Structure 1
Amino acid sequence: EQSNSDGSGTQTSRGTASEREVEKSYAALREFWIGYSGFTPYPGEILKVGRQRLRNDDGQWHDTNIEAINWNFDTTLLRAELGAAQRFSEYRTDLTELAPDDEDRKHLFGSASYQWTPGHWAGVRAHYSHDDGKLKSQGEQLDDLDKTTNGNLTWLGLQADSDAYNYRNTTPLNYWGSLTWLNGTRDEIGVTSAANDQFFAGEKNSRDMNGWATDLGLRLRLDPQWQVGAAYSRASKDYIQNGLESNRSNWTGTRSRIHRFGEAFQGEMANVETGSLFASWQMNEEYDASLIYHKFRRVDGNTGIGGSGINAVRENGNSNTFSSLPLEDGRKDLGQEMDLVVTKYFKQGLLPASLSQSFDEPSALVRLRAGVFKPGDAYHNGVDEYMHRAVVDVIWRF
């Protein structure tokens, strides 16, 4: 297996590049930056230069550590961001080369949102990606470090919410909504696998990209501890995300950042339609839990869906991607999933008393992320009837 661009997941390997093999233990440098806050008199303004965490509330545009120049402006009524980023290294002892999607790829981005009435925000955001990495010629052998796509893409989006991603929000009814357009050009080369497990570049195709995506949600607070809600997402067949996303956020209303498209499936906004129902529970700041049901469908039954977090036995043949299961032409039902995310937080006793009182975040947590995915008829008959993923996170601040 190989690590994805942010090191957070894996994809099926062509088996020809040890530089992307994930080891069981490693050391990583997550952030190193310098900041300056003197451009305006507002306390919520800062310019950061260096490897830093780029993150927006829904996690569908930015949620990654990357080398960047980024200016943030955060006040009671106005939030804004302007920056540029490019990944030069993973800064991990086990990953000595970049993922091909990150090689020679530059990002420019900006956003602005305004609190037009108390507790309600509306805004715009934009992202431009310039990728001029070299693609191999037809017939040349490929390995895991070779690019199969490049191009120039622009995303423009509108968003509105009731501060729904703030887990401390006690409003009885919360909502969020976003609409994004994608436009640009993209070059792709097909990938042919031979019987001896070698892979070769296929024909190069250039196409115009013109897609859109939306994500909508409602959450109802039943009492101080319980919430229920529903969410819907749809991305057209020509839509892809910008590569800096995690799709994790506090969309169920708890402190835990949960994958919007399943803890097992971990889908992307690329030719996928998702309907979700959930219930969440939070007791003080000691426990929280979310139980979620997802239903996944392809928007276009003859087009791929991009990456996902599940693996299966692959058949030899022609493919443009190594990160998704084989799909049956014309069939749209991708499957369904149940997720359970439970977290116990610790604060007192793990930090000095003086620091514990002034430190707002928990000093430690134990979290279970579990998901069971049942593939639909869009997948080949040879895949497993059920697939699951269970991860236990143990985090201790010191």
Structure 2
Amino acid sequence: MKNTPCIDRLALAVLLLGGIALLSLPASAGLSKRLKVSGEWDGRELHAHVVKSRDVRKDPLSGTILGRIVSIDWRRRLLTIGPLGIHWTADTDFDLVNASGLYAGQFIKVSGKLDQAGVLQARSIKPSSGEGSRNRMQLIGHMSFLQLRPDGTTEVRILGVPTLIPQSLTSLALQLTHRQDTRRPADQLTFDLAGRPVVIGGEVDISPRYQRGVRLDPERDDERLRLDVSAQLEAFYTFSSNVALFLELQADTEFELYRDSGADSNIDRRLKRGETWLFWGDIRDSGVSLQLGNQNFQDIREWWWDENLDALRLYYTRPTLHLELAVAEQQVRLASDESGIDARDQDVSRLLGLARWKWSTHDALSLFLLSQRDASGGDRIGDRLGEGELDERDADLTWLGLRAAGKFDIGKRQELEYWFDSAWMRGSETLIDVDESPDGGFIVTRREHRDIDGWAFDIGATLETEWRWKPYFTASYAMASEDFRQTGLQDNNDKFGAGVTRFRYYGELLRPELANLGVLSLGVGIPFWKASSVDLMFHDYRQTSARPFLHGARVRARPTGESRDIGQALDLVIGIEEWRHVEIELTLGVFHAGAAFGESAGENAYNATLKFVYNF
């Protein structure tokens, strides 16, 4: 297939710049770390539950503490949170509280700077929610290393507060086992093998799903109820402090409980190989790590990728810079119900690249690259294809894109989180049409080769407030040109504001690919209880150019190509994560067909999913 020299030369330049960065940055860069640590204070030490990196360029003496006031010395204007003394003056900025309104047991958030005596000189003090444990504490500041315990726990001090960080939060390899949409308890089953720990974990997922009207045809029954049950088993083993092995196996069962068309109920079962990789982290303290095997590629918004791929990946990590470069190609079949590698993945090789620069504490710029080559083409008119050999599209494509994302305060009671994703695509594709063969399989009847290029963007923001009920509001717009296609690895899945549940931000029912489409989305969410939330999202869909197809859509009807108005959708998503092992998620969606569906305009489709997950 035809190459794309312009984009490829640019991609090569990106890779060369990445290589120069790897070679030019000193191994000692960024060893001093600034962290945000949330956990429980036991009276002597802070036991960390969540650890996030922060900008090391900040003043090492500056920091923030959130916690419960233990005592107040009014004469000296001194209060304590845990072991940390905090001094306020007439210049301290009190927000929503004044000095006389402080009391022992109150949860507050204090920002300031440590003096020579180790006392935090308060620059600002404001009340904080007392939700959660009365021993809850959060620290932001530079850390000083104390020691590494035999069980892998790291002892540090942040703002002078003794802090224990478990291996699960410091091990680069162990962090790779945790996806954005999974929660694993800290106390997973562990046993020794050859003097090293083996960690066993996983999840059981039970999800009843109801669907009606997806044909957008009231004359054709398509009501459906099914039950999906899956079990995932994981094993993590460390050969040394920075070399680890991860194995994952998944069993899926799908029960067809009811189908309005009268089709017989059936049960589908399969075993599926999950992530299976070997990791060598921070080789010789260089910041360089290697990962080999079937591994998960997932960006925060899943706009570029969320897929397990057989790959070799190189990482380079520093406090403000993160680089990834990988080559991927599927080597063996994924599941027990497949006779071989899926025809769509056969002989498809990929080069994936990521460069992320964290230019401030809460803001980052990311550069994405994906170059795909499909060597499986060659089907000619008249060729016969078996059931597992049909691949109607072969493509050599290159994507290059930029993401800007972050957040900032608006006044004292609001915070705005923003994102801007953009992508450019260029390459060529070969499309085939087939007819069913009388003796089974297919016969190729048409073959078309064409050059394509396109663009897409997604821009949006979420406003988080401290108003009553702490609502958050989201507005976004995404658009793609007529020939643009997403990478095929995307899932378009994220969560907004203080929400606890990730969901498909282009619509839970329609789930379109961002291709020849514009999507306007408006949403509101409210957190409730300790770790739960409800989100309501509205979507309006319009094609960029009126065409008789809608890439990736879950409705079975096709647009006529005479109108750009695809329709509107409304989603309600409730997530409940109040327990250590259990998650509950309810998703309700409705899609209202627009004029693009001709005689089906005005018809509705419905979807409901209830998901129970037990993590261990």
Q: TM-score, normalised by structure 1?
A: 0.79
Of residues 463, 470, 475, the one that matches 1:230 is: 475
Q: 1:23 to 1:241 in 2, by over 3 A?
A: farther
> Comparing 301-310 with 212-221, which one deviates more in the overlay?
301-310
Q: 1:396 to 1:288 in 2, by over 3 A?
A: same
**Paired letter, 2:405:** D
Question: How far did 1:71 drift?
Answer: 2.4
Counterpart-to-counterpart distance in 2, 1:40 and 1:175:
37
| 1:392 counterpart residue number | 610
Question: How far did 1:238 drift?
Answer: 0.9
**Paired letter, 1:68:** A
Does 2:576 correspond to 1:328?
no
| 1:302 counterpart residue number | 547
| 1:366 counterpart residue number | 584
CA contact (8 A) 2:329 2:349 kept: yes
Of residues 33, 42, 51, the one that matches 2:294 is: 51
| 1:360 counterpart residue number | none
| 1:26 counterpart residue number | 270
Q: 1:98 to 1:246 in 2, by over 3 A?
A: farther
CA displacement 1:152-191 (0-9 Å, x = unmatched):
1100101101069xxxxx9701110011100111111134
Counterpart-to-counterpart distance in 2, 1:106 and 1:175:
33
Q: 1:345 to 1:74 in 2, by over 3 A?
A: farther
**3-state DSSP of counterpart to 1:91:** coil
Question: How far did 1:336 drift?
Answer: 0.9
**Paired letter, 1:331:** S
Counterpart-to-counterpart distance in 1, 2:378 and 2:555:
27
Question: How far did 1:251 drift?
Answer: 4.2
**3-state DSSP of counterpart to 1:347:** coil
Counterpart-to-counterpart distance in 2, 1:96 and 1:388:
34
Question: How far did 1:253 drift?
Answer: 5.0
Counterpart-to-counterpart distance in 2, 1:303 and 1:237:
12
Question: How far did 1:89 drift?
Answer: 4.2
| 2:353 counterpart residue number | 110
> Comparing 85-94 with 45-54, which one deviates more in the overlay?
85-94
Counterpart-to-counterpart distance in 1, 2:346 and 2:407:
35
| 2:428 counterpart residue number | 185
**Paired letter, 2:336:** T
Counterpart-to-counterpart distance in 2, 1:40 and 1:281:
46
Question: How far did 1:198 drift?
Answer: 7.5
How much identity, in percent, do the aligned residues show?
24
Of residues 520, 526, 536, the one that matches 1:281 is: 526
Counterpart-to-counterpart distance in 2, 1:86 and 1:53:
13
CA contact (8 A) 1:252 1:279 kept: no
Of residues 586, 595, 600, the one that matches 1:377 is: 595
CA displacement 1:293-351 (0-9 Å, x = unmatched):
0111111113633221222xxxxxxxxxxxxx322123111111111111111434xxx
> Comparing 180-189 with 65-74, which one deviates more in the overlay?
65-74
Alignment of 1:1-398 (within 5 A): 24-39=268-283, 41=285, 46-142=289-385, 143=387, 145-162=389-406, 172-192=415-435, 200-223=443-466, 225-251=470-496, 253-283=498-528, 285-302=530-547, 304-311=549-556, 325-348=557-580, 363-382=581-600, 385-398=603-616
CA displacement 1:182-212 (0-9 Å, x = unmatched):
0111111134569999854232111111100
Question: How far did 1:127 drift?
Answer: 0.6
**Paired letter, 2:311:** A
Structure number with greater Rg is 2
Counterpart-to-counterpart distance in 1, 2:384 and 2:426:
31
**3-state DSSP of counterpart to 1:373:** strand
**Paired letter, 2:392:** T
CA displacement 1:105-143 (0-9 Å, x = unmatched):
111011112122221111211110001113432244554
Q: 1:119 to 1:155 in 2, by over 3 A?
A: same
CA displacement 1:53-88 (0-9 Å, x = unmatched):
110011011101221112234443112211111223
CA contact (8 A) 2:550 2:558 kept: no
CA contact (8 A) 2:594 2:602 kept: no
Counterpart-to-counterpart distance in 1, 2:537 and 2:333:
32
CA contact (8 A) 2:498 2:533 kept: no
Counterpart-to-counterpart distance in 1, 2:370 and 2:304:
8
CA contact (8 A) 1:252 1:290 kept: no
Question: How far did 1:214 drift?
Answer: 0.3
**3-state DSSP of counterpart to 2:547:** coil
Q: 1:53 to 1:59 in 2, by over 3 A?
A: same
CA contact (8 A) 2:405 2:419 kept: yes
**Higher relative strand content:** 2
Q: 1:137 to 1:331 in 2, by over 3 A?
A: same
Q: 1:141 to 1:233 in 2, by over 3 A?
A: same
Counterpart-to-counterpart distance in 1, 2:333 and 2:579:
31
Counterpart-to-counterpart distance in 2, 1:93 and 1:197:
23
**Higher relative helix content:** 2
**3-state DSSP of counterpart to 2:429:** strand
Q: How many residues align?
A: 348
Q: 1:389 to 1:42 in 2, by over 3 A?
A: farther
Counterpart-to-counterpart distance in 2, 1:333 and 1:144:
36
Q: 1:74 to 1:380 in 2, by over 3 A?
A: farther
Q: TM-score, normalised by structure 2?
A: 0.52
CA contact (8 A) 2:532 2:577 kept: yes
Counterpart-to-counterpart distance in 1, 2:432 and 2:383:
11
CA contact (8 A) 1:251 1:258 kept: no
